[in-house]
Amino acid sequence: MGRRTYAGVTDSNVVGGGQSNDEWPSGMTRVFVVGILALAVWVVWPGENGQLVWAQEDEQTLFVRLLDSATEAPVTDLMAEDFAVWQAGVECELVSAELVSPRLQLALVFDESQWMRQYVNHVRNGVSQLLDALPEGSEVSLIATDPPASRITVDFTTDMALVRERLDEYFPWNGSLNRMLDTLHRTADNLLREDGEEGVPEGGPLWPVIAVIGSNGNEMSDQVTPRRFYSLGPKLEAVLATVHWVMLEIPFGSRMQPEWAEIFTRASGGWHDRVTAPSQIAPQKMAEMGAAIAQQHALRATQYRVVFKPPDRDSTEDLSVAVARPETLIFMSQDGRLQ
């Protein structure tokens, strides 16, 4: 018989697993979700053939990561019939349970404005170390804050030689503007487009990562208003993006972008740090950001997407999941963005 596994809500997104010695007669390992907040009415993801697959309005989705309790190795060989979902003691109709193992999708956003001139070599060296930290097969794009003048822009690709070649072209020049808010909106808008269009990873985005290498120089986007700033958050959430940010500061710079970095990284579960002056600390921080991205992706890379029909579609409380595998650790989240 398996041992019961309980989990409590650690926040509104992620649920962690633990174990007790209580037995559950079915021989399954079970995890309880108590008081999960606002599961999405619908979700969208890329299917095996690259087409978008929708969960219907009467369906709900959970992401489940399974580890062997002895070795902590991911459990990846379960079938749909090995899962069960319950709500308030009533078993739900299981629609599907499939393993998803997406490649890392990383949009690297560069401030290429004049404020970054003192950091040119640090950026080139640091981003090279960041790329070294990524798992093999990662899909990377390069995006600049002054696109008409930029020579580094690259759409999503797994060709790291091309990415590094374009990175060597990174060279902020006098007169180049810092349009970070415009650039983040453009990046999010691209990710919201249809699979196959420019700016969208192959197969469509799944937990994309936006890593910003920015400055605290003056923000020169076309419209820098509270409304436009706050309208970015829902776009990032719609594609389940995680934002990471390293801030390369100049003396007497603006406080605006450091505040943005803190807000967007905290809201999405990302990493951020700052460098107060050009030094070898700058490439070290970029390498740290790469390691943080890789570590977070490792947690998300092997999960089961479980789609079910709850008996009470208006409630997301008192949910539990069971798997037909004893001695298993279970970690669950609403959107798969484990941290």
3-state SS string for the chain: CCECCCCCECCCCEECCCCCCCECCCCCEEEEECCCCCCCCCCEEECCCCCEEECCCCCEEEEEEEEECCCCCECCCCCHHHEEEEECCEECEEEEEEEECCCCEEEEEECCCHHHHHHHHHHHHHHHHHHHHCCCCCEEEEEECCHHHCCCCEEEECCHHHHHHHHCCCCCCCCCCCCHHHHHHHHHHHHCCCCCCCCCCCCCCCCCEEEEEEECCCCCCCCCCHHHHHCHHHHHHHCCCEEEEEEECCCCCCCHHHHHHHHHHHHHCCCEEEECCCCCHHHHHHHHHHHHHHHHHHHHCCEEEEEEECCCCCCCCCEEEEECCCCEEEEEECCCCCC
Rounded to the nearest integer, the mean pLDDT of the chain is 82
Establish if 151 belongs to a structural domain: yes
Q: Write the pLDDT tens digit of every residue in 42-94.
A: 333 333 333 334 345 588 889 999 999 999 999 999 999 999 998 888 899 99
Q: Write the pLDDT tens digit of every residue in 193-210.
A: 877 888 888 878 889 999
pLDDT of residue 97: 95
Q: Based on the fold, state whether residues 158 and 295 are members of the same structural domain.
A: yes
Q: Based on the fold, state whether residues 49 and 141 are members of the same structural domain.
A: no
Q: Based on the fold, state whether residues 81 and 135 are members of the same structural domain.
A: no
Q: Based on the fold, state whether residues 45 and 141 are members of the same structural domain.
A: no
Q: Based on the fold, state whether residues 203 and 117 are members of the same structural domain.
A: yes
Total domains, the chain: 2
Q: What's the farthest any 2 CA atoms get from each other in the chain?
A: 71
- Could you tell me the pLDDT band of residue 12, with boundaries at 50, 70 and 90? very low
Establish if 5 belongs to a structural domain: no
Average pLDDT over residues 212-227: 93
Q: Write the pLDDT tens digit of every residue in 278-314.
A: 999 999 999 999 999 999 999 888 899 999 998 876 6
Establish if 187 belongs to a structural domain: yes
Q: Based on the fold, state whether residues 71 and 121 are members of the same structural domain.
A: no
Q: Write the pLDDT tens digit of every residue in 14-35.
A: 333 433 323 333 455 555 443 3
pLDDT of residue 51: 37
- Could you tell me the pLDDT band of residue 334, with boundaries at 50, 70 and 90? confident
- Could you tell me the pLDDT band of residue 40, with boundaries at 50, 70 and 90? very low
Poorest-pLDDT segment among 33-42, 266-275, 290-299: 33-42
Q: Based on the fold, state whether residues 281 and 308 are members of the same structural domain.
A: no
| CATH assignment of the domain containing 134 | 3.40.50.410
Q: Based on the fold, state whether residues 69 and 171 are members of the same structural domain.
A: no
Establish if 137 belongs to a structural domain: yes
pLDDT of residue 146: 76
Q: Based on the fold, state whether residues 125 and 44 are members of the same structural domain.
A: no
Poorest-pLDDT segment among 88-92, 185-189, 315-319: 315-319
Is residue 39's pLDDT more than 90?
A: no
Q: Based on the fold, state whether residues 68 and 111 are members of the same structural domain.
A: no
In the chain, % of residues over pLDDT 90? 59
pLDDT of residue 314: 66
Establish if 8 belongs to a structural domain: no
Establish if 59 belongs to a structural domain: yes
Range(s) of the domain holding residue 171: 105-299
Q: Based on the fold, state whether residues 294 and 314 are members of the same structural domain.
A: no
pLDDT of residue 174: 84
Please state the φ and ψ torsions of residue 123, each to the nearest 5 degrees.
-65, -45
Poorest-pLDDT segment among 39-48, 114-123, 180-189, 297-306: 39-48
What is the C-alpha to C-alpha distance for residues 228 and 231, in angstroms, rounded to an integer? 5
Establish if 41 belongs to a structural domain: yes
Q: Based on the fold, state whether residues 140 and 180 are members of the same structural domain.
A: yes
Is residue 178's pLDDT more than 70?
A: yes
The pTM for the full model equals 0.80
pLDDT of residue 156: 94
pLDDT of residue 195: 76
Average pLDDT over residues 211-216: 96
Q: Which is nearest to 229 in space by CA: 281, 283, 267? A: 267
Q: Write the pLDDT tens digit of every residue in 146-164.
A: 766 677 889 999 999 999 9
